Amino acid sequence: MKIKILLVSLLLFILFPNLAYASCNTGNPWSVAYIRRNNNRCEGILDRNISTSSFPDLISFATSNLTEYPNDLLIQVPVSSKELKVSIQSFTKRYRLDELKLEDNQSNLTFKLNTRKVLQHRRVQIPFDSLRSLAFMIEDSEPLYFPVVLGKNSDEYEFVINAVRRTAFPVLEIRHEGETIFKFEERNNPQRGHIRLLWNYKNAVEGNYELYLETSEGKTRSFPFQHNPDWFKN
């Protein structure tokens, strides 16, 4: 139990570093600095790199059809809960978006982001495919993840694992009710950085799932998430 609490604390520090040292403040709305904007979000470029854990961590769970930025990017999470925490970041230029005031539509949470303010700013120009999106709530001292939809959903979930140290992953799986239902290609050559994993969820039934991994050193991590095919019915 103590280990779980420690991991959750580390997760909150990594994903929401402003909670650890200071909340974002208001500032010049024409700047690209990380500040509170329009009283509905914190967004901008951080003045230092975001701390990362030495453990392989899930830094993104999303689905998207983006090929370029619209002027107003629709961000959705297919769940209605005040306990949900959402963050979007790009590690390439220390971009961060969090503390969003999401609109509750009973079946999902939404936010329209003006991408011209920071993402498409001429001094920033953050690649859309570098965005890392995460939404979760804490249940039984563990994070439970939900997919973030950028624009519209595709038929795939994209998971991104961040490995700070060079690490091999002989086991990378999707599990449902304890059974393995999908195996990703083994990563037996040690890798460092962002490891992208794509899973076509089209035939997956509603329920609780987990992204499970084992390292060549025998360490294991499990990231529980929920999926419901009704979320993406037109």
Give the ranges where the chain is alpha helix by DSSP (H): 2-15, 17-21
**How far is residue 26 CA from its own chain's centroid?**
25
Cβ–Cβ < 8 Å for 84, 146:
yes
pLDDT at 166: 93
Q: Which range of residues forms the domain containing residue 41?
A: 2-232
pLDDT at 23: 64
Which one-letter DSSP state was computed for residue 92?
Answer: T
Phi, psi of 231 (to 5 degrees): -60, -30
Q: Quote helix, strand, coil % in the chain, to nearest 5.
A: 10, 50, 40
Q: Indicate the pTM of the whole model.
A: 0.88
Cβ–Cβ < 8 Å for 151, 70:
yes
- What tokens does 81 get? 């809960």
Dist. CA 122–CA 125, nearest whole Å: 6
Q: What digits encode the pLDDT tens for the residues 127-171?
A: 999 999 999 999 888 899 999 999 999 999 999 999 999 999 999
pLDDT at 6: 44
pLDDT at 52: 60
Cβ–Cβ < 8 Å for 131, 89:
yes
Dist. CA 211–CA 160, nearest whole Å: 11
Q: How many domains does the chain have?
A: 1
pLDDT at 227: 97
Alpha-carbon dihedral 104, 108, 112, 115, rounded to 10 degrees: 140
Dist. CA 64–CA 62, nearest whole Å: 7
- Tell me the CATH number at 91: 2.60.40.1930
- What tokens does 150 get? 């950028």
**How far is residue 215 CA from its own chain's centroid?**
21
Question: Which residues in the chain land under pLDDT 50?
Answer: 1-22
Cβ–Cβ < 8 Å for 73, 115:
yes
Cβ–Cβ < 8 Å for 16, 9:
no
pLDDT at 50: 60
**Amino acid in position 78:** P
In angstroms, the Cα distances linking 4 to 1, 75, 222 are 5, 30, 12
Q: For CA atoms 115, 223, 16, 48, give the dihedral sign.
A: negative
